[in-house]
Structure 1
Amino acid sequence: MIRLFHVSDLHFGAEDRTALDWFARIVADEKPDAILMTGDLTQRARASEFAEAAEWLESLDRPTTVEVGNHDLPVYNPIQRLFLPYRRYKTLEQMIERPLEVRGVTIAPLRTTARFQFRLDWSKGFVTPQRLAHTVRLVESAPTDDLVFVTAHHPLIEAGTRTEARTHGGEGALRSLAKAGAHAVLTGHVHDPFDVAHEVEGRTVRLIGAGTLSERVRETRPSFNEIRVDGRSFETVARVMDGPDRRV
């Protein structure tokens, strides 16, 4: 069995240190095949926050891919946001949007953040044609027998959670990814776990969201998802700190 730990929204700067230590202990004890981190490493995209996040992720010592979240773009420096939005990610660049292949599972990243949008709330999701085309190529090039999981920060469509993603281009992106052969889209942003089957392009695509390991909890205590893959089937188990594990 392949075991993937899907974690999101660490929000260094507003992190829950107890939750981070709890997760790190589980990683050390159980050694998952990979860690999929779907964005919002930091709270305010400060250099010190990125440095702490990088040190923590490297200490886990597992194959890891990291998505960019809306909190990882500079908020108070508009020049840097527009022209050098990802400069502070340099300490993490080997993990950022890193495609992974793990014994029959291909992980394909999709960036859903944007440095500028024609709406007031720039925290919401945005899929550009260029980014989508890149991810579609990764999905299409996956080995025929692989399960293909796409990792992004924002849910492409709403999943009934308290927090909304309102991702521009999300529905079209989901159709394109389904047509290309994706089996699931793994996301964060909403801080609550979910696993919803969605019928699109004649196929079933699972929409899977992870909770948070920060102080910014919503309906669920700090948690992460364990995705258990057995051949061509997989299940999502939400592992909740100080609570029972539950299938979602």
Structure 2
Amino acid sequence: MAAIAHLSDIHFGANDPKIVAATEAWLQARQPDLVIISGDFTQRARVSQFRQAAAYVNRLRAAGHNLLVVPGNHDVPLYDVVRRFAAPLQRYKRYISNDLCPWFENDEISVLGINTARSLTIKDGRINREQIALMKGRFAAVSSSKTKILVTHHPLFSMPIGAGGELSEAVGRHDEAVKGACEAGVHIALAGHFHRTYAESARKMAEKAGSAIIIQAGTATSTRLRNAEPQSFNWLEVASHDRFSLQVIAWGGTSFLEGSKVAFTYDGGEWQSRKDL
């Protein structure tokens, strides 16, 4: 079984240092096989914020964690227009990672990260055809016994973002991206961006989406909360491509608290879930 900690939207520059330290302590105690951070390392892509984020990432690596990271839209400068269009992810590459399509693989899982942050949009994401081809090519070589996991900052699908049921904009080139993920055999798609915890079968969100399940993480350490949802991250225990559990680890004011563990199983037609007692 592979244990994955999925953090997102840590937003250095608008973060709580106490919560940052608590994530490190929690991860050190649990020792996951992989720590995923799905974008928005900074609030405004400033050098001082990237230095704080880099220090955090370096501490996690020094503690022995395997990391897979992708940038978010907040890691592209907003107000520095020249840099935004001439070198949008230069600081991310310098301080966090030069690899915009990172890959992790062990005996149980294969994980591909894809950058969806773009200069031409303020907050929305986009996937290009080269990235879709890469996704299909990388996962095609993976053994059928392994769970295939895709990581992006922006979800591939339109997501519920408020209590009124309103939906977000889908990622750019949505139809091609969903088709590509289906053809690649993606089992689990992880994302962030909306500071909201969410899990749903892809088939309920788009036609011909394959058997994937979509899992979205809240913000791990930002002070910018939405819908009164506290800071949190996701803990996944992946037994196989059709069986895993999800547990939300939420900030309780003084420490992170472990929520109920939800077991997901795929019956060949749909994902089923139940709380583990």
CA RMSD of aligned residues (A): 1.8
Q: Which residue of 2 aligns with 1:132?
A: 132
How much has 1:165 moved relative to structure 2?
4.5
Gaps of 5+ in 2: 263-277
Matches within 5 A, 1:195-210: 195-199=199-203, 201=208, 203-210=210-217
Structure 1 position 164, deviation (Å)? 2.5
> 1:95 Cα shift?
6.2
The aligned residue for residue 222 of structure 2 is: 214
Output one character per residue of 1:65-101: Cα deviation in whole Å (capped at 9) or x when no partner: 1111000001111121112111112122256532001
Aligned position for 2:268: none
Counterpart of 1:230 in structure 2: which amino acid?
A: A
2:270 maps to what in 1? none
Structure 1 residue aligned with 2:238: 229
Q: Give the superposition deviation at 1:39.
A: 0.4
1:185 to 1:95, Cα distance in 2 relative to 1, 3 A: same
Aligned counterparts of 2:107 and 2:169: Cα–Cα separation in 1: 32
Name the structure 1 match of 2:7: 7
- Cα deviation 1:182-220 (Å, max 9, x = unaligned): 101100000011111122547311111001021011131
Q: Which residue of 1 aligns with 2:170?
A: 166
Letter aligned with residue 91 of structure 2:
R
Q: CA deviation at 1:144?
A: 2.3
Shift, 1:104, TM fit: 1.2
Larger Rg: 2
AA matched with 1:129? R
Amino acid at match of 2:249: R
Q: Distance in 2 between matches of 1:214 and 1:165?
A: 22
Using the size of structure 1 for normalisation, the TM-score is 0.92
1:1-248 mapped onto 2 (5 Å cutoff): 1-61=1-61, 62-89=65-92, 90-93=94-97, 96-117=100-121, 122-162=122-162, 164-199=168-203, 201=208, 203-212=210-219, 213-219=221-227, 220-232=229-241, 233-242=243-252, 243-247=257-261
Letter in 1 for 2:251: M
**For residues 23-77 of structure 1, what are the alpha-carbon distances to aligned partners after superposition, in whole Å with 9 as ceiling and x for unaligned?**
1111111111111110000000011111110111121231111111000001111
| 1:135-173 CA distance string (max 9 Å, x none) | 222222222211000000001112323273432212330
For the residue of structure 1 that corresponds to 2:154, the secondary structure is: coil
Whether the 8 Å contact between 1:106 and 1:142 is mirrored in structure 2 is yes
Q: For 1:223 and 1:83, locate their aligned partners in 2 and report how far apart those are by CA, in whole Å.
A: 34
Q: Which amino acid aligns with 2:141?
A: S
Give the direction of change, closer, same or farther, for the CA distance of 1:186–1:165 in structure 2 (3 Å limit): farther
- TM-superposed deviation, 1:176: 1.3
